[in-house]
Amino acid sequence: MKNKLFAETQPVAQGWLAVGNGHQLHWQASGNPEGMPVVWLHGGPGSSASPLHRRFFDPAHFWIIQYDQRGCGRSLPAGEIDHNETSDLIADIERLREHLSIPKWSVVGGSWGGALALLYAQAHSERINRMLCRSPFLCTQAEIENFMEHPPEGCREPWLGLQSQVPRDSGQTILEFGYQVFCLEQDVQKQSQLAKAWMAYEAAMNVYPAQAPTMGLTGHDTLIARYKVQSHYLWHRCFVGQNILAHSQLLSAIPLTLVHGERDALCPFENSLEIQRAVPHANLVRVAGGGHDLTDPGMLSATFQALASWG
């Protein structure tokens, strides 16, 4: 089984959890209800749970919890940004744990999910057995500006395609224009066109340094909801008002593994070095030549091996 994911498996339980102000989170559980509970926090912001994520765990030994964050995936209402801030998402993780009657669980988060994992762990460290952060995002202004305005040369073409959506005489940045189109206006045609360009650019950044993928067809309603949530969060610097590691001493009792590709264009490798400086006991797995993409062979292997060590 070394470096090879477990076979596809279907959820054995799922439902919606009302978390207030009209939001309902879609959750699903797979594997063994008597096994080690683990929750996977998806990336984005604006993405959703994936069947791929549960394949990193032996379904005979783990009780695997997945869910879609507010406004994301199958959660309702789709694309809703009212009462949708990071503090709400942290509270939602606890609500889900309590709803499922899980005393303690392990936490896995990648990218934006890694940021949520760090924040959740600092708020509820007593509820966590162990934690893995893959390619964590630290919600800094520099990261957001680099993503939106300073792509590596290999991603410049799709970035120019995204930038071309912004009217030249507007004086707006891509993010400022995106927030206006997705969050303040109701022009579905403009939203759909911008979402497709944004998706192509984000996909290229995700797989860098590999070649940008050919994009398939995706329903425009799904894309609009995704980038409405993403622009809402990025415009507000993910509602993280201070250093995301401000209370890192609260992580001292949690076994923490970091897996990060050294050529990550979305969340720089330096992020994991910064976490390790704040949390010296953290085990950092550096993936040589790896980018951000979880399916990159090196990233996939390192993440699988790290989780396999959990038993």
Burial class (CB in 10 A: 0-12, 13-18, 19+), 128: buried
d(CA 4, CA 132): 19
Burial class (CB in 10 A: 0-12, 13-18, 19+), 303: buried
d(CA 216, CA 196): 10
Catalytic residue among 75, 106, 111, 135: 111
For residue 7, what are its two tokens? 């076979």
Instruction: Answer yes or no: 99 catalytic.
Output: no
**Contact predicate 27/77, CB 8 Å:** no
**Backbone φ, ψ for residue 129 (5° rounding):** -80, -50
For residue 160, what are its two tokens? 């120019």
Burial class (CB in 10 A: 0-12, 13-18, 19+), 275: buried
Instruction: Answer yes or no: 111 catalytic.
Output: yes
Sign of the alpha-carbon dihedral angle for 35, 38, 39, 40: negative
SS (H, E, C) 105-174: EEEEEECHHHHHHHHHHHHCHHHEEEEEEECCCCCCHHHHHHHHHCCCHHHHHHHHHHHCCCCHHHCCCH
Catalytic residue among 264, 272, 293, 296: 264
Instruction: Answer yes or no: 296 catalytic.
Output: no
Catalytic residue among 26, 53, 232, 292: 292
Sign of the alpha-carbon dihedral angle for 137, 141, 144, 149: negative
Point out which residues pair with 81 in neighbouring strands. Answer: none
DSSP H or E stretch at residue 302: helix 297-308
**Contact predicate 9/77, CB 8 Å:** no
- Residues with catalytic function: 111, 264, 292
